[in-house]
């Protein structure tokens, strides 16, 4: 499900079963990421699938990338793999107004 930043943040803050998932490349993550985000690069192909398979599919995933396109694709893949709840951040980290941290 695509959510605006405002809706994404309000759902995330109220969700005790939430996991933030950053699907950008390692290089992009080095420019800054949303606190507590796990990173699995969608461009890794089978590595991305393997990373997803290691996650708990019963949790709620708040997914983002640079602009929202790759994260939308990641949500589709995750839903096909049996993940119940995925939320795509529209506009990605480019439009993000909240806190970021750098590694």
Give the whole-angstrom CA distance, residue 4 versus residue 10. Answer: 10
Kindly list the catalytic residues.
65
DSSP helix/strand/coil, 72: helix
Q: Which residues pair with 21 in a beta bridge?
A: 38, 63
Q: How far apart are CA 18 and CA 62, in angstroms?
A: 7
- CA-wise closest residue to 52 among 31, 83, 30: 83
């Amino acid at each position: 499900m695509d959510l605006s930043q405002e809706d994404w943040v309000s759902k995330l803050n109220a969700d005790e079963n939430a996991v933030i998932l950053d699907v950008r490349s390692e290089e992009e993550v080095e420019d800054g990421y949303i606190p507590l985000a796990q990173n699995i690069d969608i461009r890794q192909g089978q590595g991305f699938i393997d990373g997803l398979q290691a996650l708990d599919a019963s949790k709620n995933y708040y997914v983002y990338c640079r602009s929202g396109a790759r994260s939308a694709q990641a949500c589709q893949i995750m839903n096909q793999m049996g993940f119940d709840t995925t939320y795509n951040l529209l506009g990605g980290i480019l439009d993000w107004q909240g806190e970021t941290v750098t590694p």
